[in-house]
A and B are shown apart, each in its own frame.
Chain A
Amino acid sequence: MVTLAWIPLLPALGALTLGVFGIRFFPKRLTALLACTTLTLSFVVSAFSVWQLVKLPAGEARVLEFTLGAWLPAMASPTSHGIGSFGVDWALRLDALSAVMILMVTFVASLIHIYATAYMDHEEPGAYARFFTYLNLFVFFMLTLVLGANFFVLFVGWEGVGLCSYLLIGYWYQKNSAANAGRKAFIVNRIGDWGFLLGVLLVFMTTGSVDFYAVRAAVEHMPIETTTFATLSAACLLLFVGATGKSAQLPLFVWLPDAMEGPTPVSALIHAATMVTAGVYLLCRNAMLFSHAPQVLEIVAVVGALTAIVSACIGLVQTDIKRVLAYSTVSQLGYMFLAAGVGAYGAAMFHLVTHAFFKALLFLGSGSVIHGMSGEQDMRHMGGLRVFLPITAVTMTIGALAIAGIFPFAGFFSKDEILAQAFANNRPLWVLGVITAAMTSFYTWRLVALTFLGSRREAAPAHDAHGAHGGGHGHGDHGHHAPHESPIAMTGPLMVLAAGATLIGWFGMPPVWGGSAFEHFIEPVIATGAHGGEGGGHLSHATEWTLMIFSVTVALAAIWLAQRMFVQKPAIADAMAARFSTAHRWLTDKLYFDELYGATVVAGTYAVSRLSFWFDRTVVDGLVNGSAAMTVFSSWLSALIDRRGVDGVVNGVGNTLHDASFGFRRMHTGLTQNYALAMVLGVVVFVGVYLVVR
């Protein structure tokens, strides 16, 4: 269906127009209009396509495809099963899984584009157009990623969103911290890409294809590698390395918090709702493949759970409003991997979608706060803002309740399901999940409390030197006004997202309330057949009820605790920080991951790099220069000996040296003679070699 191509192409056209003409010529209004129009149209086309899809009968045949043509033309290649054919088509495919993704991406991205038109309003027209060029381009790549019918088209999107992320994190490129953060994100992602590419090549080697459906069909009949760690497991592990890079999981999560150097709409779109979930999507897209590698799934689950809890711990004490949300994102992504790791791909995808809504909401809300506070990001200088930013306060509170998993907000349904699946499959990881859930509620409410509740704390005098969020480029210009609510272009998207964060959970009812319509929809794509399947055991209704009540209770208790510590008795928080000062410092300093990597991998690479160059100059090139010098010397020596007219024996030795010096001999004289001599000598040597070889 040709229509499919328009879904990514519309934002691509937007980016092209803005990039070529907009940066130079367009006024801001035109830029904003164009960027938002392409996105909205893309959403409309997506909705239309999904509607076409839904009209098809449910099941495996519910697929729409569009193949533009060959990309990498097919060529013979050895595989594990004889000579196969390696080739890649520019092919898009809409099935239930990608349908969910394109709807979410275009919807959330449209809202964020609208929001950004106001948020970025203080930029120069050129820079403004540059911002929307990147943002449109990002959406193009993101849609390519989720619509790609094979690993390589997905990879185009995968790397493309990475590029846009790099450009948008470094949007304020004059700031070294922003440029560094962008570069760090790209390089850490590249480490993951190394795994991704090798994983894909191994998948091809094993299955003879790189098309997702063909791979699924081929894998379906292969044995599950329960005890052996064979090629499927290795391929999955490599793909998971790629996913940890893109989705900021341990040990490659360090780039995401730094990515907050980008403008807040970027954080909301790329580093919360869409790009960072690509790793989860990759796993779900290849559910059949991963289910044949149970040992890797176990690794996925453990990594996910550990990432969730570690980053939640760090999030507890951060004071920069965006950093709290960044660690929260890492933590929630960990949840999604935990779900995928226990085989609950549907739950992972559902959490991905609900998270996109409430995390985009929280980020945009924080942006509204930053906007209203003229660039301030430190929560210690906020407080009591509910009076000044009422809409932001209400919508963000809804977002907080959603992420905390309070009934009836979206997070309740998705998180509850993940925890239920973890409970059924892996109790220790369930315990980690519950603790993480408690911490999530705690730090999110802490964020709400420090920002909106209590009474207003005045900004520190050093505020202008604060520097974060490109204050020098715009928000700082506002000076010290009283905090103010944002314009409708910003609060509008907040309200829409808040509605979404309240309502979309109902698509994913727990089994006891009739089951999840969402999972029923995507089931044909993520089905793992008779093998593996959705978790190990089914829970009884009584257990389900108990778990639901338990997790809501835990979340409420954590909220109550945060309310008490940060609103009612702020002294408790300070006392706690003082009492556990070591732990507090470790968490504040982000457990020293950056320092560890800096001292080992980064410093090691630079050291090896300098060593290599030293070796190159002194040893490798030293040999070259040395042999040249030797030749010149022997040439000089033989000339000397010749001149002095020593006897025949010495002459012989001299001639030997003379001969050995063919190429380098006359470094400082003519070249033609040298050349001729070399050729003659060559012939002489050749005849010798020929006689030996013959």
Chain B
Amino acid sequence: MSLTLILLTPLVGALVLLAMPRRLEGGIKIVANVAAWAGFLVSLPLWWQFDPSSADQFQFVTRSPWIPSIGAEYHTGIDGFSALLVLLTTLMGGIAITASWSAVSLRIKEYYIALLVLQTGVIGAFIALDLLLFFLFFEVMLVPMYFLIGIWGSDRRLYSAIKFFLYTLVGSVVLLLGILALYFHLHAVTGVYSFDVTRYYTLDVPPRLQFWVFLAFFLGFSIKVPMFPFHTWLPDAHTDAPTAGSVILAALLLKAGTYGFFRFSMPMLPDATREAVPWIALLSLIGIVYGALCAMAQQDWKRLVAYSSVSHMGMVVLGLFALTPTGITGSLIQQINHGVSTGALFLLVGVVYERRHTRQIDAYGGIAAVMPLYAAIFLLMTMSSIGLPALNGFVGEVLILQGTFVVSKVWAGVAGLGIILGAAYMLWLYQRTMFGEITHDENRGLKDLGLREVFTFVPLIILAFWIGLYPKPFVDRLAPAVQRLVERVSPEIAAGAAAAVHAVPDAHAAPAVPATTHPAPGVH
């Protein structure tokens, strides 16, 4: 029940907006904000009510027939990772809508409807446990985002919007093929037509079919992530999207791709997953380094952040496909982190874009003198993005690097280059915009952050410190899901860990220091 409530709250808001006369601009904004933050509030209990110690893989499960003739169901439920993603979605949705208050003046009714429908689509994708239902939501996300970019975007908005739509659509179509292949295979083996995700977790798909389905899923998800070389829609879409669109795109839509790997490709097709590891690692590593290098060459503030996303998402995929507990956990944490810090970075661009209507980096410079609070938050988020320890980015990065290192030292070494390059392009961006003398007179009178703007950053700042200093509550919620996936894709590690739990404490631990040498209690 409660998941459906979370799913429908923004949609109800959109319906209310639909009924409102368009001249009530203030009312429309208020309704949109209320709907979005109500959506966050109704999702908040998930944090406490989700029980990591439960034996059930999915909690809050709702099932009812949807299209009985083909076995499709309205089947929703969450594990630890989807719980965190839903919370991230409702939070970022609220932030995006509040951040739009004064940024958008054109067709605001439709604008907020699009954002709220988008919100519903994203939540739906993260809670669906029926392949067809997932696919539906996966596609539903596209349409409002297409309009957001195409109508409220800048410069080449039509080109970017169409490119975004068609490119991801190509991936989706192939993804659907993969889903159907599995669907028919399930019928061939069991005689049942069903899109129930959990059924496929126990289905041993023949290797050859695994290969083809994995390939189809890979295309669908890797375009969404996006992974090199399918990433070129991203900088265009980000650059031309309105601020809220960029925030949602970076923080949430990209996660639909990595979520797809986590929820479908890997547990359903474990053999093909293992086979694919070197190739996906290669693409991820290229993405990390290449995305960072491209970011360094940008003159456009948003495009720079967009390319940094390519680099960071490469890291996320690398960790996931390391197939080790630390790598996977790091990857999942890093997805939240990327939502927080890149979302914040896009918000930050939006703040000055609203004041100056330009994204060109050299139109700024010396901003720290007139917007000190802005400069401080930007610095914090820069540090979060480049993985300064004690902030969130480090926790994800170091777990990913650790999880990768035990698989291949070379991969970890190359991925580590991303950390150097990340510092280089982010600090250069920071210097070019914030430091130096003010070179453009228009910048002298810039107003520092207002109360509403500060409000949009506060939750992200809290999360950056929280995950950075004490990620345990997050890791604990993820642990069962990670454990299940590891059992599926890396049975030898799962078995070894289980043995280690029963064995005597680590033979290498010094007797004098019990700290940090406990025998794997994190793995149940």
Which positions in A face B, CB cutoff 8 Å?
Answer: 23, 60-61, 63, 65, 67, 69-79, 81-89, 91, 126, 149-150, 152, 155-156, 158-160, 163, 166, 170, 173-176, 179-180, 183, 186-187, 190-191, 193-194, 197-198, 201-202, 204-205, 207-211, 213-214, 216-218, 605-606, 608-610, 612-613, 616, 620-621, 624, 628, 662-664, 667, 671, 675, 678-679, 681-683, 685-686, 689-690, 693
Contact = CB atoms under 8 A, between A and B. Distances in A.
Given A71-B472, A83-B520, 7 more contacts: A82-B496, A150-B515, A173-B368, A190-B423, A624-B163, A685-B177, A690-B184
B401 interface: yes
B325 A179 contact: no
B276 interface: no
Given A78-B324, A83-B520, A187-B420, A678 B427 contact: no
A201 B523 contact: no
A682 B232 contact: no
Contacts of A159: 388-389, 394
17 contacts: A71-B470, A72-B399, A81-B508, A85-B521, A126-B372, A149-B516, A174-B436, A191-B420, A209-B517, A211-B513, A217-B512, A605-B421, A609-B293, A628-B163, A682-B177, A690-B180, A693-B209
B403 A77 contact: yes
A158 B394 CA distance: 13
B435 A88 contact: no
A678 B169 contact: yes
By secondary structure, the A interface counts as helix
B47 to A, nearest CB: 17
A288 to B, nearest CB: 11
Contacts of A86: 326, 402
B522 A87 contact: yes
B66 interface: no
Given A77-B403, A213-B510, A214-B509, A71 B518 contact: no
B289 to A, nearest CB: 9
B362 to A, nearest CB: 14
Interface residues of B, number: 98
Contacts of A216: 510
Contact of B180 (A60, A191, A664, A686): A686
Contacts of A662: 173
Contact of A89 (B369, B405, B419, B516): B516
Contacts of B508: 81, 84, 207-209, 214, 217-218
Contact of A83 (B435, B497, B510): B497
A75 B329 contact: yes
Contact of B435 (A75, A78, A170, A187): A170
Contact of A75 (B173, B177, B326, B512): B326
A214 B516 contact: yes
A628 B388 contact: no
B435 A85 contact: no
Contacts of B324: 77-78
A473 B149 CA distance: 46
B290 interface: yes
Nearest to A217: B510
Residue of A85, A91, A186, A683 most packed against chain B (CB within 10 A): A85
A85 B519 contact: yes
B18 interface: no
A73 B478 CA distance: 11
Contacts of B406: 77-79, 205
A85 B516 CA distance: 9
B233 interface: yes
Contact of A613 (B297, B366, B413): B297
B496 A91 contact: no
Contact of B177 (A89, A158, A686): A686
Nearest to B390: A156
Contacts of A211: 510, 513, 515-517
A633 B329 CA distance: 46
B133 to A, nearest CB: 16
B454 interface: no
B378 to A, nearest CB: 13
B204 interface: no
A608 B372 CA distance: 34
Interface of B: 139, 146, 162-163, 165-167, 169-170, 173-174, 176-177, 180-181, 184, 208-209, 212, 229, 231-233, 290, 293-294, 296-298, 324-326, 329, 366, 368-369, 372, 383, 388-390, 394-395, 398-399, 401-403, 405-406, 409, 412-413, 416-417, 419-421, 423-424, 427-428, 431, 434-437, 469-472, 475-476, 479, 486, 493-494, 496-497, 499-500, 506-513, 515-523
A679 B176 contact: yes
B516 A183 contact: no
Contacts of A61: 512
A69 B470 contact: yes
A605 B293 CA distance: 8
Contact of B427 (A187, A621, A685): A187
Top 9 closest A-B pairs, CB basis? A83-B496, A217-B510, A76-B497, A613-B297, A621-B232, A85-B520, A179-B435, A609-B296, A612-B293
Contacts of A152: 389, 398
A293 B199 CA distance: 53
Contacts of A690: 180-181, 184
A60 B509 CA distance: 16
B277 to A, nearest CB: 14
Contacts of A77: 324-326, 402-403, 406
A434 to B, nearest CB: 37
A197 B431 contact: no
A664 B173 contact: no
A201 B427 contact: no
Contacts of A202: 405, 409
Contacts of B476: 73
Contact of B166 (A126, A179, A208, A628): A628
B420 A683 contact: no
Given A77-B402, A174-B366, A675 B516 contact: no
Contact of B522 (A76, A149, A628, A693): A76
Contact of B436 (A72, A176, A671): A176
A688 B273 CA distance: 24
Contacts of A91: 515-516
Contacts of A173: 368, 434-436
A490 B413 CA distance: 47
Contacts of B434: 173
B166 A693 contact: no
A194 B417 contact: yes
Contacts of A23: 372
Contacts of B395: 72
B510 A186 contact: no
A210 B401 CA distance: 15
A72 B520 contact: no
A686 B181 contact: yes
Given A176-B436, A201-B401, A75 B423 contact: no
A116 B85 CA distance: 48
B416 A197 contact: yes
B12 to A, nearest CB: 25
A681 B176 CA distance: 11
A201 B405 contact: yes
Contacts of A81: 507-508
B88 to A, nearest CB: 20
A693 B212 contact: yes
A193 B387 CA distance: 12
Nearest to A213: B513
Given A77-B326, A686-B180, A205 B405 contact: yes
Contacts of A628: 163, 166
A63 B493 contact: no
Contacts of B424: 187, 190, 605
Nearest to A667: B162
Contacts of A65: 513, 515
Contacts of B472: 69-71, 73
A589 B388 CA distance: 34
